[in-house]
Amino acid sequence: MKKERYLFEKFARTYKPKELLLFYASNFLKDEGWPTDMKHHNYLDTKAKLDSLSYSFQKDCKRITEEAEYKKWEFEDLFKARNTFLYDIYFADMISIETLCIFEMMLQKRWMSLHSSQDPLKVYENLTHKVYKYRILLEYIGIQPTTKMAENALKELTSLPSCGNI
């Protein structure tokens, strides 16, 4: 216990309060929850992702469009409450968790709601909670989707069928 206490004190001396939250979150996202496993490079990776968020979001929207066209999905199908398409391509490491958070921020809702019989292992439910909690953290540290990000997403996603009324 003494070693963990020392590490928490060291982290508190090293990082400012908002940076400390991001440090903990970046390590928790990498499933490194023990203080002895927490690494500074996880924090730097997350900070770099957030610095280039607009570019990576646009890149992820292109990947979503490509996958949706391949699977013959329409635009309206992407954000239906029982559709796991976006989470599936997240699990395939094609998009980032930040992209899921940005979509939730833009839509101002949590769209994923599966019945327990559809998700018996609670994989999607756990990811839904993880995205929600990470979204709250991003909002707290001041990360918000910009108008330009929304315009780029719409421009990219409107190439999908059934987008004529946007």
Residue 46: closest CA among 60, 61, 37, 56: 56
* Percent above pLDDT 70 for the chain: 89
Architecture of the 53-166 domain: Orthogonal Bundle (1.10)
pLDDT at 75 over 90: no
pLDDT at 32 over 90: no
φ/ψ (deg, to 5) at 110: -100, 115
115 within 8 A of 122, measured Cβ to Cβ: no
64 within 8 A of 157, measured Cβ to Cβ: yes
Domain residue spans of the chain: 1-51, 53-166
Q: Say which amino acid occupies 49.
A: K
34 within 8 A of 22, measured Cβ to Cβ: no
Rounded Cα distance between 81 and 104, Å, is 12
Rounded Cα distance between 86 and 61, Å, is 10
Query: Mean pLDDT in the chain?
Result: 83
Residue 131: closest CA among 157, 154, 98: 98
Q: What is the 3-state secondary structure (H, E, C) of 107-130?
A: HCCCCCCCCCCCCCCCHHHHHHHH
Rounded Cα distance between 56 and 45, Å, is 13
Kindly report the number of other CB atoms within 10 A of residue 68's CB atom: 21
Q: What is the per-residue pLDDT across 129-164, written as a single tens digit (0 to 9) for each?
A: 888 888 888 888 888 888 888 888 878 777 766 555
pTM: 0.79
pLDDT at 11 over 80: yes
